[in-house]
Amino acid sequence: MDRQSRYQRHSLIDWFSQATVRDARICVVGAGAVGNEVLKCLALLGAGSIDVYDFDRIEVHNLTRSVLFRVTDIGRNKAECAAARVRDLDPNVVITAYTGNILRDLDLASFSKYSAVICCVDNFEARLRLNLICKLWQIDLINTGVDSRNAVVDVFPFSQQSAQSVACYECTLPPSVYQRLSQRYSCGGLKRAAFVEKRIPTTVITASLAGSLAASKALRLGPGGALRSDRIFLDSISGISRPSELPVRVDCPVCSQFPAPFRKRPVRDLQAELARLRAEKGNSDITLPESLILSFQCKKCDAGEGHDAPLFWRASEHDSGLANCRACGAEGAVEIQITDRLPLDTLTKSGVRSLPLPFALAASETGTDVLVLEKESECD
Amino acid sequence: MTDVKFIIRTADQTRKAEVEMQRSSIGADIVQAAVDNWALPSDTDYALVNVTTGRSLVPTEMLDENFVQAGDVLEVQPVLVAGHA
């Protein structure tokens, strides 16, 4: 079917630009309840290019909230299944499914191409990471959230030239969120092995409200565009909608640490770049986007690793069980060195050729010059 | 420091009260008072929005005259985190 016939009704809407929708390159993170609704809307509107990320598999209880999934899809990867259904809805839409963990396997070289990222995940950790990356890469971020009654959509227009005055997701967070995160993680970023995640029940009603509004915001439908961060809170029972401006928070952990403007510098040779930074900035710290395990050692039997050369293991891939010694069996006896900041001297002396992270940040003393180091493979 | 009298309510509007607080109070104090007095679920995080002005209140921000005027309505909204499962 030709495009003109398919989108004929859209062409009758004076504020709707099919060309703008077709040119959009949208990243959807999470293909669950809200992600399904976002993808459905993007497909039916004729969005040109979509990348969808999800490592999770479809379970039977997903079927009550996921318009793109069928009983026969149980066990399939959510992103792959959703992408196939989007192609069924509109073959003109170019959609690619990524089945890895975006936070671990993120390809920052391709990340820059997106006109917007829509966050449809169910945890604060992923939201915090996407917020930081979108802010640094100056890509509009649309955050969604639902419960059984309410839906919320936040718009963070990081692509705006006035991005310094654009609030980020962390500007809005109450301190209780960080307290809750600290309960989930022990020293420096290891997940607590015995922590039981709370499950929040939702329905397709709130998911569809959040999903349709998020798709509209990401495509910037309608006149004008967002110049400041704002939130729309929708009550699905009363029908009340509460829009609110999100102000920049002076002591925001992200905005205060990484004030715009900042420079991105692709790095092909990490060692050479670290040496150059060492010469330019002295032994200042490199900030990492997440914690790394440098070493561990048992206080009882001295067994351990990483003392000769730092391990650089991602803390998010380990849990507090690491504190139990695998050599002598002593519980809680292992001391673990974890950090999210590393002195340049540590990195240059360790001879590190690569970090297991998509980027790192080096801030000058003025705090206004942040360098983003991309992995070699992402420079091509 | 002067006081300011305003209305506070929950997002579902099942709880509502007129309160008077010092302008030196911060958004997080008001949310905590609402959680305690109304026995709101303690395993949920909350944000505070001035629905009269259409502006969210930063948790560490005081009830400055620029942000909260006498008679304004402040709403305690849950921070929504689900959406994937």
Q: What is the CATH number of the domain that holds B72?
A: 3.10.20.90
Q: Are A126 and A104 in contact (CB under 8 A)?
A: no
Whether residue A203 has pLDDT greater than 70: yes
pLDDT tens for A266-283 read 777 778 888 888 888 788
Q: Which of A144, A171, A235 sits opposite B83 (nearest CB)?
A: A144
Q: B85 in a domain, yes or no? A: no
Segment A225-237 mean pLDDT: 92
- The answer to whether A124 faces chain B, any CB pair under 8 Å, is yes
Name the token pair of A52.
């969808």
Within a domain: B42: yes
Domain containing residue B40: 3-78
Give the total number of structural domains in chain B: 1
- Can you tell me the mean pLDDT for A138-166? 90
Residue B75: strand, helix, or coil:
strand
Read off the pLDDT of each residue in B44-62 and give the average, rounded to a whole number: 94
CB contact (8 A) between residue A247 and residue B58: yes
Burial of A125 (0-12, 13-18, 19+ CB in 10 A): middle
The whole-number pLDDT of residue A368 equals 42
Q: Give the per-residue pLDDT at A283.
A: 85
- Residue A297 to residue A305: CA distance in whole angstroms: 7
Q: Indicate if the pLDDT at residue A185 is higher than 90.
A: no
Token output for A351: 């001879």
- Predicted structure pTM score: 0.89
What are the chain A neighbours of B80 within 8 Å (beta carbons)? 145-147, 150-152
Which residues numbered 168-187 in A keep a CB inside 8 Å of some CB on B? 171-177, 180
Q: How far apart are CA B68 and CA B62, in angstroms?
A: 9
Distance from CA of B61 to the nearest CA of A (A): 8
Looking at per-residue confidence, does A314 or A146 come out higher? A146
Could you tell me the fold of the domain covering A3-245? Rossmann fold (3.40.50)
Residue type, A47: A
Residue A23 pLDDT > 60, yes or no?
A: yes
**Residue A380 predicted with pLDDT over 50:** no
Residue A364 has pLDDT above 80, yes or no: no
Q: Which part of chain A has CATH 3.40.50.720?
A: 3-245
pLDDT at position A170:
95
In the structure, what pLDDT confidence band is assigned to residue A8 with cuts at 50, 70 and 90?
Answer: very high
The listed range with the strongest mean pLDDT (A359-363, B67-71, B81-85) is B67-71
Give the model confidence (pLDDT) of B25-41 as tens digits. 999 999 999 999 999 99
- In this structure, is residue B84 part of a structural domain? no
Question: How big is the A-B interface in CB pairs under 8 Å?
Answer: 116
For position A58, what pLDDT does the model report? 97
